[in-house]
């Protein structure tokens, strides 16, 4: 059994990005810029944004956070995004989700200039990914794909079960896997007999926010298990959607929580922002 070290891989990627940023500044006088919209006072959202700001500082990006109260109107958020669309210093725009219930998330995401949509959530980028064209891919699925590449895990023809069908993780994950010639099954809350699907899979990728959902008897010997879930238990521990201690001995590869997919998500955000900056016309 091999543990996939996302933390170490993410650090390698961030170090490489920092080197590229230095060259970009020297040769083209460009400093990549990332702007974040943070609405409300959700502790998890604030923690994520703090980690992203730290990563920006580490690689040498200009970054700004627009903090807004959860009572803010949708039009005010849209106005801020349009301002950032027009700001030549901003290469990437990220709206931290979830947004308050009175805000139409889809409408907000569609306002972002697709060329600055470094989270990969705009329908334009989603469509290009589905049709195997160059675009910004959603950061978490992109991070998973980079882990497969780094650990030489072949996807061609493999049976992959994606547990969860969200627009942020499950659907784009399935698209990237299909682009890599995997055979993909997507399961969700209405799937009957989840275990039947996971037991047949060479690779299981789960991200639904249910602690310990994937049990040992749901995984075949030698499977690769990618745990995207992150859940905080009452005792303060962070755990994934996989019953790690029971499942790990059966796996050829498995990601831990924390230290697996999470750091890769932020690394891919940094990578997408660099890509956007390189495309900037100056």
Rounded CA separation 159/164 (Å): 16
The share of the chain scoring above pLDDT 70, in percent, equals: 100
Rounded CA separation 55/92 (Å): 14
Per CATH, 29-114 and 139-262 having the same topology is answered yes
Active site residue 52: yes
Candidate list 91, 96, 202, 243, residue with the active-site label = 96
Whether the predicted pLDDT of 281 surpasses 90 = no
Residue-wise pLDDT for 68-113, tens only, equals 999 999 999 999 999 999 999 999 999 999 999 999 999 999 999 9
What's the whole-number average pLDDT of the chain? 96
| pTM > 0.85 | yes
Candidate list 52, 116, 158, 171, residue with the active-site label = 52
Residue-wise pLDDT for 194-220, tens only, equals 999 999 999 999 999 999 999 999 999
Its CATH architecture, for the domain 139-262, is 3-Layer(aba) Sandwich (3.40)
Preceding peptide of 211 cis, ω within 30°: no
Active site residue 116: no
Q: What's the pLDDT band for 5 if we cut at 50, 70, 90?
A: very high
pLDDT at position 23 is 96
Classified by CATH at the fold level, domain 29-114 comes out as Rossmann fold (3.40.50)
Whether the predicted pLDDT of 36 surpasses 70 = yes
Q: What's the pLDDT band for 282 if we cut at 50, 70, 90?
A: low
Q: Which helix (H) or strand (E) holds 225?
A: strand 223-227
Active site residue 82: no
Token representation of residue 62? 């200009």
Where do the domains of the chain lie? 29-114, 139-262
Whether the predicted pLDDT of 184 surpasses 90 = yes
**Radius of gyration of the chain from its Cα atoms, rounded to whole angstroms:** 19
Closest to 229 in 3D by CA, of 197, 205, 253: 205
Token pair 């083209």 is found at: 28
Pairing label, strands 231-232, 238-239? antiparallel
Candidate list 91, 116, 117, 119, residue with the active-site label = 119
The whole-number average pLDDT for the span 46-62 is 95
Preceding peptide of 98 cis, ω within 30°: yes
Whether the predicted pLDDT of 19 surpasses 70 = yes
Contact residues for 168 (Cβ-Cβ < 8 A; gap 6+): 97, 121, 138, 140
Rounded CA separation 199/221 (Å): 9
Q: What's the pLDDT band for 127 if we cut at 50, 70, 90?
A: very high
């Amino acid at each position: 059994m091999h543990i996939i070290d996302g933390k170490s891989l993410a650090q390698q990627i961030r170090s490489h990005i920092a080197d590229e940023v230095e060259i970009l500044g020297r040769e083209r006088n460009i400093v990549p810029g990332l702007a974040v919209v943070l609405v409300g006072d959700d502790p998890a959202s604030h923690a994520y944004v703090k980690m992203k700001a730290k990563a920006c500082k580490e690689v040498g990006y200009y970054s700004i956070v627009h903090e807004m109260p959860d009572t803010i109107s949708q039009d005010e958020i849209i106005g801020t995004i349009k301002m950032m669309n027009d700001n030549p210093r901003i290469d990437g725009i990220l709206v931290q989700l979830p947004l308050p219930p009175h805000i139409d998330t889809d409408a907000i995401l569609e306002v972002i200039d697709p060329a600055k949509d470094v989270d990969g959530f705009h329908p334009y980028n989603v469509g290009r990914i589905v049709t195997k064209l160059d675009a910004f891919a959603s950061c978490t699925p992109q991070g998973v794909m980079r882990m497969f590449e780094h650990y030489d895990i072949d996807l061609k023809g493999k049976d992959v079960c994606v547990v969860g069908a969200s627009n942020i993780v499950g659907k784009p994950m399935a698209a990237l896997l299909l682009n890599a010639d995997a055979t993909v099954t997507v399961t969700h809350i209405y799937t009957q007999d989840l275990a039947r699907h996971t037991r047949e899979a060479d690779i299981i990728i789960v991200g639904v926010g249910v602690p310990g959902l994937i049990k040992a008897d749901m995984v075949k010997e030698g499977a690769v298990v990618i745990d995207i879930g992150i859940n905080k238990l009452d005792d303060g521990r962070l755990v994934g959607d996989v019953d790690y201690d029971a499942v790990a001995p059966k796996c050829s590869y498995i990601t831990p929580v924390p230290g697996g997919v999470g750091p890769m998500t932020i690394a891919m955000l940094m990578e997408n922002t660099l890509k956007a900056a390189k495309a900037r016309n100056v």
